Amino acid sequence: MQNMGSMPDTAVGAPEVREYDVDAVNRKETRPPLYAPRKKIHPRRTHGFFRSFKWWVMALTLGVYYITPWLRWDRGPGAPDQAVLVDIPGRRFYFFFIEIWPQEFYYIAGLLIMAGLGLFLVTSVVGRAWCGYTCPQTVWTDLFIWVERLVEGDRAARIRLDKAPNSASKAAKRLTKYVIWLLIAMGTGGAWVFYFADAPTLFTDLFTGQADTVAYATVGVLTFTTFSLGGLMREQVCTYMCPWPRIQAAMMDEESLTVTYRADRGEPRKPFEKNADWDQRGDCIDCKACVVVCPMGIDIRDGQQLECITCALCIDACDDVMGKIGRPRGLIDYDSIANDERRRAGEETKLRLFRPRTLFYFGLWGLIGLGMLYVLLTRADLDINVIHDRNPLYTTLSDGSLRNGYTFKILNKAREQRTLMLHASGLPGIKLKVVGSEDMGDSPDPYFTVKPDRLQSFRLLVTVPPGTLKDDAADLRFVLKEINTGQTASYNGLFRGPGQ
């Protein structure tokens, strides 16, 4: 900050020469750097409840990810037998007993909305649990750190290895680590493509060079991203790339549980001393066990911060130390800001799970879930859509009758051919004609044969006798009925005319 003369400038004796009390605005020492080099983090291994929980979550999520494409589900002949399959050329999404057509993409939209609201709910209750336990970035980073620890040793050994001069054994360790990482990354990219094609076939094709270029490119890109994001970038992704840490604060309130250092218990921190009077000092012995285990490289004792993914490993580390020095566990624990204030006010702490915010998120989530479930359970495998011709809206025939043209789409989601009968009502003397089946004559109720698993489109002409249409339009109801089962699908349309 330039001194604008608050301190008097002093004369130095020589005439007209003064010494100024000033600091250069852009002095090298005080100028903030434009770019900051990355400081490497070497997280130390922990043991404890949250570490075990994270292992289980990792096993579950990775297991689901790698195994799902290999599950089989019999759908009868002519249909894929893969339980979960995104068939892009066939425009189908198969999920066990559910088969989604492109027209039903709202299921996916609904699922995504539910996932979003679920994330809001979890965040408002237990903070960034998604970040700490289930985010792919966290899961794969954890896996990659596990490999690193296996090959290079724990924190101290890794720091030593980093500082050690180049040698054959250092190179061997690094190479082993990178090769294992690469294999995991390729496995990750490889598993992804199995969701989009028959897994066993694609598996063989991938290894024999028969697979599509798109498959190889996808595997390549995902191998690269898994390796670089999980192995090399790690905490940089969460801190600099991910928008979620910035957004999640909006879902949290003072009652949200989050990984918290209990400053009221811990301070004033002091190095451990035998036979200390714990009433005179805080429980924190400043051993920094919580710092060395942190994969984000932060000190949880500084309070809530953007980098914290709430993986809770510092809780495990601190609990371990507290056990050893004979102090109660939970110096670092899941706690809320409100509880901190209650403690200061001498009140009892409590856990408030049912708050307007959590109830609102849960209610919305449940409502959408129930709605989706209802739509899914009542979902018909026969559907019609009748699109009125835009031009001309109506045609007057030589005898004065009126004719409207429609594009008539029948969605047969069943895997068998069906014979259907169409009936239209709403005006007297309706005659239906399906273009291409003139041989049936102007039957009042034409028959259709629809191929299995197909959307078929017909051109339908509806004719009414002269004078039957009183206004310029009338409601018309189309009912499609399956001959064998009696199943129906209906559509309410319009019949247009010139008006009287």
Partner 1 sequence: MSERHTDDFTGVETTGHEWDGIRELDNPLPRWWQWIFWACVIWSIGYWIVYPAWPLVSGYTKGMFGYSSRGEVAKEIAKAETGMEGQLEQIRQASLEQIRTNANLREFALAGGRSAFAVNCSQCHGSGAQGFKGYPNLNDDEWVWGGTIDAIAYTITHGIRNTEDEDARQSDMPAFGRDGILEKAQINDVAEYVMTLSGQSGDTAAAARGKTLFTDNCAACHGENGGGSHEFGAPALNNNIWLYGGDKATIVETISKSRRGVMPAWGKHLDDATVKQLAIYVHSLGGGK
Q: Give contact residues for partner 1 (rule: CB under 8 A).
A: 1, 32-38, 233, 236, 240, 389-392, 395-400, 403, 405, 433, 435-436, 439, 459, 461
The letter for the amino acid at 77 is P
Q: How far is the CB of 111 from partner 1 (least distance, A)?
A: 33
Give φ, ψ of 351 to 5 degrees. Answer: -110, 115
Q: How far is the CB of 246 from partner 1 (least distance, A)?
A: 12
Give φ, ψ of 469 to 5 degrees. Answer: -90, 110
Q: Where are the alpha helices (DSSP H) in 293-418?
A: 313-325, 337-344, 356-377
Q: How far is the CB of 439 from partner 1 (least distance, A)?
A: 8
Query: 32 or 76: whose CB is closer to partner 1?
Result: 32
Q: Residue 82 gets which letter from DSSP?
A: B
* CA distance linking residue 403 with residue 464, whole number of Å: 7
Q: How far is the CB of 396 from partner 1 (least distance, A)?
A: 6
Question: Is 385:411 a contact under the CB 8 Å cutoff?
Answer: yes
Cβ contacts of 357 within 8 Å, gap of 6 or more: 124, 251, 253
Query: 128 or 433: whose CB is closer to partner 1?
Result: 433
Q: How far is the CB of 40 from partner 1 (least distance, A)?
A: 12
* CA distance linking residue 237 with residue 109, whole number of Å: 26
Query: 371 or 467: whose CB is closer to partner 1?
Result: 467
Q: How far is the CB of 358 from partner 1 (least distance, A)?
A: 27
* CA distance linking residue 172 with residue 178, whole number of Å: 10
For 5, counting Cβ atoms within 10 Å of its Cβ (0-12 exposed, 13-18 middle, 19+ buried), the class is exposed
Beta strand 454-464 with 473-482 is unpaired
Q: Residue 72 gets which letter from DSSP?
A: B
The residue behind tokens 């007057």 is 396
CB atoms within 10 A of CB 313: 29
* CA distance linking residue 80 with residue 422, whole number of Å: 32
Q: How far is the CB of 463 from partner 1 (least distance, A)?
A: 9
Query: 233 or 315: whose CB is closer to partner 1?
Result: 233
Query: 315 or 460: whose CB is closer to partner 1?
Result: 460
Query: 87 or 389: whose CB is closer to partner 1?
Result: 389
Query: 113 or 337: whose CB is closer to partner 1?
Result: 337
CA 283 to chain centre: 40
Q: How far is the CB of 420 from partner 1 (least distance, A)?
A: 16
Q: How far is the CB of 404 from partner 1 (least distance, A)?
A: 9
Give φ, ψ of 64 to 5 degrees. Answer: -60, -45
Query: 317 or 450: whose CB is closer to partner 1?
Result: 450
* CA distance linking residue 72 with residue 95, whole number of Å: 11
Q: How far is the CB of 447 from partner 1 (least distance, A)?
A: 14
Query: 276 or 435: whose CB is closer to partner 1?
Result: 435
Query: 233 or 410: whose CB is closer to partner 1?
Result: 233
CB atoms within 10 A of CB 471: 9
